[in-house]
């Protein structure tokens, strides 16, 4: 265990990414899956974006309260005849289409793995709320800019309970005080939940 701790944060190895595409412009809409090599693609491949694992999420990522609304929004934008594409991502964020060898710059892909450009302000806000909710896990991404990373660190209090599962995997930290503050908040929330379970409240 101590040996592995010295290796943290681990280098991202799943360079193959499977994206759901926008029905209109066929650009990346939401990341569906990833793989370390072409012989280990998920089988079966996911056909839609789910927003979380399980009915209530998992310990490291609780379910976003408006998941159903966001899932519907993504499905509507993807259209009935959904399109998908595998990309091979490079360390600088650029990519190559797995099927056609076409090249794409890093700006072609949503930084937070879901499209942020929406026609209606309420849809923009819904996606932004989701990004803030999953900020503790998004900070493990190695390709974020300093400004993007700072925005996510500022949002850590939204779901601080998730940070203890992720902070050791952060490749870079902008403001250590924000990380420490979120960890303290997480510990307080866990202590409160434990006391409630034992009937102390």
80: CB partners within 8 A, 6+ apart: none
Residue 174 covered by a domain: yes
Q: Are 126 and 51 in contact (CB under 8 A)?
A: no
- Distances in Å between the alpha carbon of 33 and those of 100, 125, 151? 19, 24, 25
Q: Is 128 a domain residue?
A: no
Give the mean pLDDT of 116-121. Answer: 97
177 and 101 in a common domain: no
Interaxial angle between packed helices 146-154 and 176-197, expressed in degrees from 0 to 180 and rounded to the nearest 10: 30
**Tokens read off for 193:** 């939940």
Buried b / exposed e over 25-37, threshold 16 CB at 10 Å, is: eeebbbbbbbbee
Q: Are residues 81 and 138 in the same domain?
A: no
How far is the C-alpha of 131 from the C-alpha of 127, rounded, in Å? Answer: 6
Greater model confidence, 197 or 180:
180
Predicted local distance difference test score (pLDDT) of residue 60: 84
User: Has residue 12 been placed in a domain?
Assistant: yes
pLDDT at 192 > cutoff 90:
no
Per the structure, the count of domains in the chain is 2
The answer to whether position 159 is within a domain reads yes
pLDDT tens, 143-152? 899 999 999 9
Structural domain of residue 163, as residue ranges? 134-195
Grouping H, G, I as helix, E, B as strand and the rest as coil, residue 149 is helix
Q: Confidence class of residue 122 from pLDDT cuts 50, 70 and 90?
A: very high
Cβ atoms of 35 and 103 closer than 8 Å: no
Residue 129 lies in a domain: no
Domain check: are 21 and 65 in the same one?
Answer: yes
Q: Is residue 50 part of a domain?
A: yes
Looking at the structure, tell me whether residues 45 and 3 fall in a common domain. yes
The residue whose two tokens read 């491949």 is 45
Does residue 6 have a pLDDT over 60?
no
> What is the pTM assigned to this prediction?
0.89
């Amino acid at each position: 265990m101590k040996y592995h701790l010295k290796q943290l944060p681990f280098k991202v190895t799943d360079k193959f990414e499977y994206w759901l595409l926008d029905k209109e412009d066929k650009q990346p809409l939401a990341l569906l899956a990833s793989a370390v090599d072409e012989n280990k693609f998920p089988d079966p491949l996911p056909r839609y974006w789910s927003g979380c694992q399980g009915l209530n999420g998992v310990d490291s990522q609780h379910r976003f309260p408006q998941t159903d609304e966001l899932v519907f929004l993504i499905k509507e934008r993807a259209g009935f005849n959904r399109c998908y594409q595998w990309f091979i991502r490079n360390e600088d964020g650029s990519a190559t289409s797995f099927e056609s060898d076409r090249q794409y710059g890093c700006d072609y892909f949503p930084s937070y793995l879901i499209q942020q450009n929406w026609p209606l302000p309420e849809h923009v806000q819904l996606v932004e709320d989701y990004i803030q909710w999953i900020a503790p896990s998004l900070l493990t991404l190695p390709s974020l800019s300093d400004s993007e990373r700072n925005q996510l660190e500022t949002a850590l209090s939204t779901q601080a309970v998730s940070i203890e599962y992720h902070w050791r995997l952060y490749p870079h930290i902008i403001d250590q005080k924000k990380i420490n503050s979120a960890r303290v908040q997480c510990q307080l929330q866990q202590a409160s939940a434990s006391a409630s379970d034992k009937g102390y409240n």
